[in-house]
Structure 1
Amino acid sequence: MMVRKTSDLIGTDREVDTPNWTSRRILLKKDGMGFSFHETIIRSGTETLIWYKNHLEAVYCVSGEGTVETLADKKVYAISPGTTYALDKNDQHKL
Protein backbone atom coordinates (compact mmCIF):
# COMPACT_ATOMS: atom_id res chain seq x y z
CA MET A 1 0.00 0.00 0.00
CA MET A 2 1.16 3.51 -0.75
CA VAL A 3 0.23 6.32 1.60
CA ARG A 4 1.35 9.85 0.75
CA LYS A 5 0.69 13.32 2.08
CA THR A 6 1.01 16.23 -0.31
CA SER A 7 2.88 18.11 2.42
CA ASP A 8 5.62 15.46 2.21
CA LEU A 9 6.09 16.15 -1.52
CA ILE A 10 6.95 19.84 -1.15
CA GLY A 11 10.55 20.50 -2.17
CA THR A 12 11.03 17.03 -3.69
CA ASP A 13 11.25 15.93 -7.33
CA ARG A 14 7.50 15.26 -7.16
CA GLU A 15 6.76 18.98 -6.83
CA VAL A 16 7.03 21.03 -10.03
CA ASP A 17 6.77 24.80 -9.68
CA THR A 18 6.30 27.25 -12.57
CA PRO A 19 5.23 30.90 -12.70
CA ASN A 20 1.65 29.81 -13.58
CA TRP A 21 1.15 26.70 -11.47
CA THR A 22 2.54 24.29 -8.89
CA SER A 23 1.90 20.56 -9.31
CA ARG A 24 2.45 17.90 -6.66
CA ARG A 25 2.70 14.51 -8.31
CA ILE A 26 1.13 12.13 -5.81
CA LEU A 27 1.09 9.11 -8.15
CA LEU A 28 3.23 8.72 -11.28
CA LYS A 29 3.68 6.06 -13.96
CA LYS A 30 6.63 4.63 -12.04
CA ASP A 31 4.27 3.87 -9.13
CA GLY A 32 2.65 1.19 -11.32
CA MET A 33 -0.99 2.18 -10.83
CA GLY A 34 -1.79 2.69 -14.53
CA PHE A 35 -2.64 6.38 -14.01
CA SER A 36 -1.18 9.46 -12.40
CA PHE A 37 -2.76 11.65 -9.73
CA HIS A 38 -1.71 15.24 -9.06
CA GLU A 39 -2.66 18.17 -6.88
CA THR A 40 -2.21 21.30 -8.99
CA ILE A 41 -2.56 24.90 -7.91
CA ILE A 42 -3.23 27.36 -10.74
CA ARG A 43 -2.11 30.91 -9.96
CA SER A 44 -4.75 33.62 -10.22
CA GLY A 45 -4.48 35.95 -13.20
CA THR A 46 -2.42 33.54 -15.32
CA GLU A 47 -3.21 31.95 -18.67
CA THR A 48 -1.83 28.51 -19.51
CA LEU A 49 -2.04 26.62 -22.81
CA ILE A 50 -2.01 22.84 -22.31
CA TRP A 51 -2.05 19.84 -24.63
CA TYR A 52 -1.55 16.28 -23.43
CA LYS A 53 -0.94 14.40 -26.68
CA ASN A 54 -0.39 10.99 -25.11
CA HIS A 55 -2.86 10.71 -22.26
CA LEU A 56 -6.31 11.74 -21.10
CA GLU A 57 -6.99 13.97 -18.13
CA ALA A 58 -9.77 14.55 -15.63
CA VAL A 59 -9.71 17.57 -13.32
CA TYR A 60 -11.72 18.24 -10.16
CA CYS A 61 -11.80 21.78 -8.76
CA VAL A 62 -11.48 21.96 -4.97
CA SER A 63 -11.34 25.74 -4.56
CA GLY A 64 -11.18 28.95 -6.57
CA GLU A 65 -12.82 29.90 -9.85
CA GLY A 66 -11.73 30.22 -13.44
CA THR A 67 -12.40 29.00 -16.95
CA VAL A 68 -11.19 26.30 -19.30
CA GLU A 69 -11.42 26.81 -23.06
CA THR A 70 -11.18 24.01 -25.62
CA LEU A 71 -9.15 25.49 -28.45
CA ALA A 72 -10.64 23.44 -31.32
CA ASP A 73 -14.15 24.83 -30.86
CA LYS A 74 -13.43 27.89 -28.68
CA LYS A 75 -16.00 26.76 -26.08
CA VAL A 76 -15.41 28.30 -22.64
CA TYR A 77 -16.55 26.53 -19.48
CA ALA A 78 -16.81 28.06 -16.01
CA ILE A 79 -14.90 26.18 -13.32
CA SER A 80 -15.72 26.46 -9.62
CA PRO A 81 -15.54 24.19 -6.56
CA GLY A 82 -17.22 20.86 -7.25
CA THR A 83 -16.71 21.07 -11.04
CA THR A 84 -15.09 18.18 -12.92
CA TYR A 85 -13.94 18.38 -16.53
CA ALA A 86 -12.53 15.51 -18.57
CA LEU A 87 -10.35 16.02 -21.64
CA ASP A 88 -11.46 12.82 -23.36
CA LYS A 89 -10.13 13.66 -26.82
CA ASN A 90 -6.62 14.88 -25.94
CA ASP A 91 -8.11 18.37 -26.22
CA GLN A 92 -5.82 21.34 -26.52
CA HIS A 93 -7.08 23.75 -23.90
CA LYS A 94 -6.42 27.01 -22.12
CA LEU A 95 -6.84 27.70 -18.41
Structure 2
Amino acid sequence: MNHDEVLRARMLLLGSGELSTAERLRAYRVLVHVSPAVYRTKLSRLLVKLAARSGPEARAALLAEAVTVAEGLAERDPLRTDVLGAALRVARDETAR
Protein backbone atom coordinates (compact mmCIF):
# COMPACT_ATOMS: atom_id res chain seq x y z
CA MET A 1 0.00 0.00 0.00
CA ASN A 2 1.31 3.40 -1.00
CA HIS A 3 2.08 5.52 2.06
CA ASP A 4 0.91 8.70 0.29
CA GLU A 5 -2.46 7.13 -0.51
CA VAL A 6 -2.91 6.13 3.13
CA LEU A 7 -2.01 9.61 4.30
CA ARG A 8 -4.39 11.24 1.81
CA ALA A 9 -7.22 8.93 2.86
CA ARG A 10 -6.65 9.68 6.54
CA MET A 11 -6.48 13.42 5.94
CA LEU A 12 -9.67 13.27 3.89
CA LEU A 13 -11.54 11.55 6.71
CA LEU A 14 -10.09 13.89 9.33
CA GLY A 15 -11.03 17.03 7.38
CA SER A 16 -13.81 19.27 8.57
CA GLY A 17 -15.80 19.19 5.34
CA GLU A 18 -18.66 16.87 4.43
CA LEU A 19 -17.48 13.97 2.30
CA SER A 20 -19.32 12.54 -0.64
CA THR A 21 -20.09 8.85 -0.63
CA ALA A 22 -17.50 8.32 -3.38
CA GLU A 23 -14.79 10.08 -1.34
CA ARG A 24 -15.59 8.05 1.76
CA LEU A 25 -15.63 4.85 -0.29
CA ARG A 26 -12.21 5.57 -1.78
CA ALA A 27 -10.77 6.36 1.65
CA TYR A 28 -12.22 3.22 3.26
CA ARG A 29 -10.94 1.04 0.40
CA VAL A 30 -7.42 2.32 1.05
CA LEU A 31 -7.55 2.26 4.83
CA VAL A 32 -9.06 -1.23 5.10
CA HIS A 33 -5.61 -2.55 4.12
CA VAL A 34 -3.79 -0.79 6.95
CA SER A 35 -6.47 -0.90 9.68
CA PRO A 36 -8.84 -3.75 8.82
CA ALA A 37 -10.29 -4.00 12.32
CA VAL A 38 -11.51 -0.42 12.02
CA TYR A 39 -12.45 -0.11 8.35
CA ARG A 40 -13.93 -3.48 7.35
CA THR A 41 -17.19 -2.71 9.15
CA LYS A 42 -17.36 0.83 7.79
CA LEU A 43 -16.55 -0.27 4.25
CA SER A 44 -19.04 -3.13 4.19
CA ARG A 45 -21.86 -0.96 5.53
CA LEU A 46 -21.10 1.81 3.06
CA LEU A 47 -21.04 -0.65 0.15
CA VAL A 48 -24.47 -1.99 1.13
CA LYS A 49 -25.82 1.55 1.42
CA LEU A 50 -24.35 2.52 -1.95
CA ALA A 51 -25.71 -0.66 -3.58
CA ALA A 52 -29.24 0.37 -2.64
CA ARG A 53 -28.85 3.49 -4.78
CA SER A 54 -27.12 1.84 -7.75
CA GLY A 55 -28.20 0.15 -10.95
CA PRO A 56 -28.46 -3.64 -11.17
CA GLU A 57 -24.93 -4.37 -12.44
CA ALA A 58 -23.20 -2.02 -10.02
CA ARG A 59 -25.46 -3.23 -7.20
CA ALA A 60 -24.39 -6.84 -7.67
CA ALA A 61 -20.69 -5.92 -7.68
CA LEU A 62 -21.02 -3.66 -4.63
CA LEU A 63 -22.90 -6.31 -2.67
CA ALA A 64 -20.36 -8.98 -3.59
CA GLU A 65 -17.60 -6.69 -2.33
CA ALA A 66 -19.58 -5.93 0.85
CA VAL A 67 -19.94 -9.64 1.61
CA THR A 68 -16.25 -10.31 0.92
CA VAL A 69 -15.18 -7.44 3.16
CA ALA A 70 -17.53 -8.53 5.95
CA GLU A 71 -16.35 -12.15 5.72
CA GLY A 72 -12.87 -10.85 6.49
CA LEU A 73 -13.94 -9.52 9.87
CA ALA A 74 -12.32 -11.37 12.74
CA GLU A 75 -14.46 -14.12 14.24
CA ARG A 76 -14.23 -12.41 17.62
CA ASP A 77 -15.35 -9.02 16.26
CA PRO A 78 -18.66 -8.23 18.03
CA LEU A 79 -20.02 -6.53 14.89
CA ARG A 80 -19.19 -9.39 12.52
CA THR A 81 -22.55 -11.14 12.80
CA ASP A 82 -24.54 -7.94 12.21
CA VAL A 83 -22.39 -6.61 9.38
CA LEU A 84 -22.01 -9.92 7.56
CA GLY A 85 -25.67 -10.78 8.13
CA ALA A 86 -26.83 -7.46 6.68
CA ALA A 87 -24.62 -7.81 3.62
CA LEU A 88 -25.74 -11.39 3.02
CA ARG A 89 -29.44 -10.54 3.49
CA VAL A 90 -29.32 -7.69 1.01
CA ALA A 91 -27.30 -9.76 -1.48
CA ARG A 92 -29.77 -12.66 -1.14
CA ASP A 93 -32.74 -10.32 -1.61
CA GLU A 94 -31.07 -8.87 -4.69
CA THR A 95 -30.53 -12.33 -6.15
CA ALA A 96 -34.19 -13.19 -5.56
CA ARG A 97 -35.37 -10.23 -7.69
TM-score band (shorter)?
0.3 to 0.5
Give the TM-score, by structure 2 length. Answer: 0.32
Q: Which has the higher strand share?
A: 1
More helix by share: 2
TM-score, length of structure 1 as denominator length? 0.32
